[in-house]
Amino acid sequence: MKKIKFILLLFCFNLCISQTEIQKLNLSEAALELTHQKVTYDPSYFSIAYPNGDVPSNKGVCTDVIIRAYRKLGIDLQKEVHEDMKANFNAYPKIWGLKTTDKNIDHRRVPNLMTYFKRKGAEKPITNNANDYKPGDLVCWDLKDAASHIGIVVNKKSNDGKRHLIVHNIGSGQVLEDCLFSFKIIGHYRFNL
């Protein structure tokens, strides 16, 4: 009887691991799907619905890639970030001089996403080892001049097979590129709600 319980426990443990792996692969697939949608880089402020609001589907920035990919998995980062920020406003950056939350833009700012992911225990080590960055991981970079950037590691490899590729929007729309180590990495996250 103990042997059967152990086997069942082991099976359940493996099932949980498999579901996490599946979610990461699903995020990777969701990000790859976004590369088929024509999007113009547009950092404009938009008033959007709440929850599940989005800027016009043909516009966006790097954070919109993350938001849209998670939405395909049923996770609304607009709502999640807004609620956490509202309850813990002092934990978030004050870069923009805000005195309160703004459900139209807060989730579209890289430093806010970084804070949210860290607060949710999703932070992973920053390394120079490409093998540490798995499909479904989020990577943030410093682009200089106080600009930060974010992208999703996907389940496709560079031409030399050494690195996973990234889906991001750095000015040319939602694209797939080999850019993991092109900029200084300032954040690495593996977020599963």
Q: What is the pTM of this model?
A: 0.87
pLDDT grade for 18, boundaries at 50, 70 and 90: very low
Q: Give pLDDT, residue 22.
A: 57
Provide the Cα torsion 166, 170, 175, 177; round to 10°. -40
Number of domains composing the chain: 1
Specify the CATH number for the domain of residue 66.
3.90.1720.10
23 band by pLDDT with thresholds 50, 70 and 90: low
Instruction: Using alpha carbons, select from 134, 139, 132, 118 the residue that is nearest to residue 186.
Output: 139
| Residue range of the domain that includes 81 | 2-189
